[in-house]
Structure 1
Amino acid sequence: MAPKSPEASCSILLAVAAISLFQPSSCHPAASAATSPVRDEVPMVRADDVTKGRKLLQMPGAALPFPPLKVLSNGRPCVMFQARRLSLRYERRKQVDLTERAFSPPKSVDTSQSVCRHDRATLVMRFGDVDDLRGLAIRLQLSNTFYEASGQWWFSVDSVSVVYNASQEAVFNASDVYAPSSSSYHCSHVSSLERHSALLMPGSDDARRWTLTFVDFQIQAFNVTSGRFSPVSDCATVLTPAILMGLVTSLILLLVLAYALHLLVHLNRIENDRERKAHRDFLPSPEQLERCCAENGADKDVP
């Protein structure tokens, strides 16, 4: 018997695929529900970065346990920076946690060598001797650029350096760490680790021996108008790794469903061909009708 209503079966399968395709992922990289404070829900406003092709999500900044570092220029803050955690590791040695040394008010880190200009800024955090590292410091190089296509200024973190043993330096080139100058930049992880998208890429051989990670990284430069961060431009993009994996999985599911649809149509065609063949075998052919009529006529002629 032929399969009943293959169109209905296919509609159900395609509906399941559509639900799987648009189901939101729970593995968003910017979400750290277990460790982040609860934020009030606010509507998000998207701002297009015309010059660099990335959409940034506008959202309020996170309240962290330590106040941000402030670099002053002519008595006014020109760079603000904070992180929930700052850690680094040299090769396979024990990881060093610099969070309290950097942000805890009683142990305020030395930022006296930081510099602010109109289009360039350098944030220098000098930690001194930490474990077996002598003269440890972390330096962030920032720039401020006007893009005519977007009609506004954008600041970016160009590089992050780890200076140790007074003269040795491991340089990491920062990728996609930027925001409008009227906003602050935030990212759940700015790290050299691949599992955190590797926004810090080794720029020297020494840097390959180091692992540097900022958790809940937030920075603002060149347009600090008060002692608080401006609205945040988050690094979370529309196509996060988790969403991309979901799209790939959904594509595979759609291909399987398309193959199943093809099989249903093919089986339905085979069944219809069998029914038509059986119907043709049941009906007598014209030759058989002529032979039958001739035999009947011969029978009538016999007295």
Structure 2
Amino acid sequence: MSFGDVEDLRGLSIRLALSNTFYESSGQWWFSVDSVSLMYNVSEEAVFNTSEVYAPASSSYHCLHVSSLQRYSTLLLPSTNHARRWAITFTDFQIQAFNVTSGRFSPVSDCATFLTPAILMGLVTSLILLLVLAYALHMVIHLKHIEHDDEHKEDIYFPQNIEESEHCCMESEAEKNIL
């Protein structure tokens, strides 16, 4: 651990309160970090409650920042007056409460939120494509209705073969000679 600008490291104690709970809906055990306590020189204790720091008991929890600062999405909430004076940030935080084997972390359960910028842009792009598809289908349906509008136009005679067209032209010349 790196403590940054803390002067006397011997006077600093960090305690993590963990719990293990079985959830029937998922059918497995989950561990969570309930609180983080900082004790500095035995005289001052700052307690932070945690939110959303949990993972299945068979895996580890990893997050790039677990912090009391808003810019890192505030996973640590001050619960005492002393805690309001502290700003705490764990960078590249990884913890596993149970089932640790051979000194290595189990597969990671990451803290990434559901609506990351990439997922949000994918959803917006999908919505735009869906609207374009709906507009295209609307236009195709509209074209079929235009074909039915031909019934209102004047009938025009188109000969089916060459003989009919010659016969047509001969009659018109004969009609001209009669006149």
With normalisation by structure 1, the TM-score equals: 0.38
Secondary structure, counterpart of 2:33 in structure 1: strand
For the residues of structure 2 that align with 1:234 and 1:214, how far apart are their CA atoms? 15
Q: Distance in 2 between matches of 1:215 and 1:179?
A: 18
Kindly provide the amino acid, as one letter, of the partner of residue 197 in structure 1: S
SS of match in other structure, 2:71: helix
1:238 to partner: Cα distance: 2.3
CA distance in 2, matches of 1:246, 1:86: 36
The equivalent residue for 1:183 is: 59
Partner of 1:211: 87
Residue 11 of structure 2: aligned partner: 135
Q: Please list, as runs of the form range in 1=range in 2, the aligned pairs for 1:97-108 lying within 5 A after superposition.
A: none
* TM-score, structure 2 normalization: 0.63
- The partner residue of 1:145 within 18, 21, 36 is 21
Q: Counterparts of 1:148 and 1:207 in 2: how far apart (Å)?
A: 35
Query: Once the two structures are superposed, what CA deviation does each residue of 1:137-189 show, in whole Å capped at 9, x if it has no partner?
Result: 11111111111111110001111111112131111111100000100000011
Q: Which one has a bigger Cα radius of gyration?
A: 2
1:229 equivalenced with 2:97 (yes/no): no
| Residue in structure 1 matched with residue 41 of structure 2 by the alignment | 165
Q: How many pairs were matched up?
A: 130
2: CA distance, partners of 1:229 / 1:134: 27
Q: Does 1 or 2 have the higher relative contact order (CA < 8 Å, sep 6+)?
A: 1
**Aligned mates of 1:226, 1:132 — CA distance in 2:** 33
Counterpart CA distance in 1 for 2:109 and 2:115 is: 16
Cα root mean square deviation, aligned: 2.9
Helix, strand or coil: the match of 1:210? coil
Unaligned runs of 5+ in 1: 1-84, 88-94, 97-129, 262-303
Answering whether residue 81 of structure 2 is matched by residue 197 of structure 1, we say no
User: C-alpha distance in 1, partners of 2:102/2:54?
Assistant: 20
SS in 1 for 2:32: strand
Q: Deviations over 1:226-278 (max 9, x none)?
A: 211100000012213x3587589x59xx7xx9xxx9xxxxxxxxxxxxxxxxx
Measured against aligned partners, the alpha-carbon deviations of 1:11-36 in whole angstroms (never above 9, x if no partner) come to xxxxxxxxxxxxxxxxxxxxxxxxxx
Alpha-carbon distance in 2 for matches of 1:133, 1:183: 31
- The percent identity for this pair of structures is 69
The runs of at least 4 aligned residues of structure 1 exceeding 4 Å deviation read 243-248
- Higher percent of residues as strand: 1
Partner SS for 2:11: strand
